[in-house]
Amino acid sequence: GRVVYVNPAGVRGFGAQSSEQLVGRVITEQVHPDSIASMLARISTLREQGDASPPAEAVLLRLDGSPIDVEAVSVLTTWNGKPAYQVIFRDLTEQKAAQATLHYQAALVDHVSDAIIATSTTGRVMSWNPAAERIYRRPAARALGLPISEAVDADVELANIVSDGGMSYATHRSADGSPLHVRMSVTAMEHGYVLLCSDQTARRRAEQHFQTVVTSFRDGVVVLDAHGTPQFINPAALRILG
C-alpha cells in the first residue's frame, strides 16, 4: 500500500513539489476517509494481472490536506517483479465547479419572474422557462419548436432588435389572446438568441390609471425623466404654462 512511483501529473495533483514527497507514503494517507472503504473494495475485486476497476469518483487529499475530486481507475500490475496496483486518476475539480454553476444557473432560470426564452438562429424556440409558461400561459411542450413570433403571438425580428440596441417594448399575447405589454431584451449567442421578457402589463395598467386620474386634476402635473425631459403633461399644466 505504499507509493513507489508518481508521474508529474500526479505530483501536481497532490500539490507536491516533487515525487520524493509522495514516494514511500501509505496511499490511504492521501485518500479522504469517506473514500477509503470504497477504494479498498474496488481493489479487492482485482484478481488477475491486467484486471481494472471501473471508473469511480473518489476524494483524494493534497499534501496540504485540501480535498480533490477525482475519477480513479485501479489496475492490478507488477512493479519490479512484484504485485502492485497502478492507480490512474483524473482531476474533476473544474468539471464539478462547472456542474455546480450549471445547476445554479438552471435554478435561477427556473425561479426568476421574467420569461427566459432561447431560440435557434432561425428563431425557433429551443428553451422556455417556467416563468414563460406563466406569462404566456403556454406550457413548454406547446412552445418548443415554434417560431418565436408564433410563441409570443407578435412580430419579433430578433436580428433587428439586437442591431437596434437589444431592447424592445412590444405587445405580445398569451395563449388565451390576452394582451401583454412586454419589455424584451435580446442577446445574440453563438447558436441563436436569448430573450429576457419582462411582463409590464401591471405597470402599464398603473400608468394608464395614473394618467386617467391626473388628467382630471385642476392642478398642473408634469412627469419628468431622469434628465429633466417631460414625459407626461396633464391638461391643467398645459393651460397654466400656456
Q: What pLDDT score was predicted for residue 206?
A: 60
Strand, helix or coil for residue 182? strand
Q: Is the pLDDT of residue 229 over 80?
A: yes
d(CA 165, CA 152): 21
d(CA 212, CA 206): 10
C-alpha R_g of the chain: 31
Phi first, then psi, for residue 77 (nearest 5°) are: -145, -160
- The tens digit of pLDDT for each residue in 197-220 reads 988 775 666 666 677 777 877 888
- Give the residue among 16, 76, 86 at the shortest CA–CA distance from 51: 76
- Please name the amino acid found at residue 214: V
DSSP E strand stretches across 130-237: 167-173, 179-189, 192-199, 222-224, 230-233
Q: Is the pLDDT of residue 92 over 90?
A: no
- The tens digit of pLDDT for each residue in 148-177 reads 999 999 999 999 999 999 999 999 999 999
d(CA 116, CA 106): 11
The overall pTM is greater than 0.75: no
